[in-house]
Amino acid sequence: MTKAANPEKCPICKKPMAMDYRPFCSKRCANVDLGRWLGGTYAIPAEEPLSEAEFEAIISNDNAPEDQA
C-alpha cells in the first residue's frame, strides 16, 4: 500500500483528476467516458429514418422557394 497522498486519477488516461471535471482530468476524458457509455455498453436505438412528410418539411424550411415567386 502506498501512503502517498495521490489525488484521484482520471480513469481514462490516469492523469491526476481535475476538480472541475472529476472524476476525470479534463472535459475530453469526460467525453470519452460518455462516448463509451453511449456507444458501448449502452445500446441506444438507431435514429429513426425521416418519413417523407418530415423530410419535405425540413427541405421547405431550409430552402426558400425563390424560383417560385
Which three cell numbers mark 44? 441506444
13 or 57, CB closer to Zn ion? 13
13 or 38, CB closer to Zn ion? 13
16 or 56, CB closer to Zn ion? 16
- Which residues make up the interface to Zn ion (CB under 5 A)? 10, 12-13, 15, 25, 29
Measure Cα distances from 39 to 14, 32, 33, 44, 46 in Å: 22, 10, 10, 8, 11
Question: Least distance (Å) from Zn ion to the CB of residue 39?
Answer: 18
Which three cell numbers mark 41? 455498453
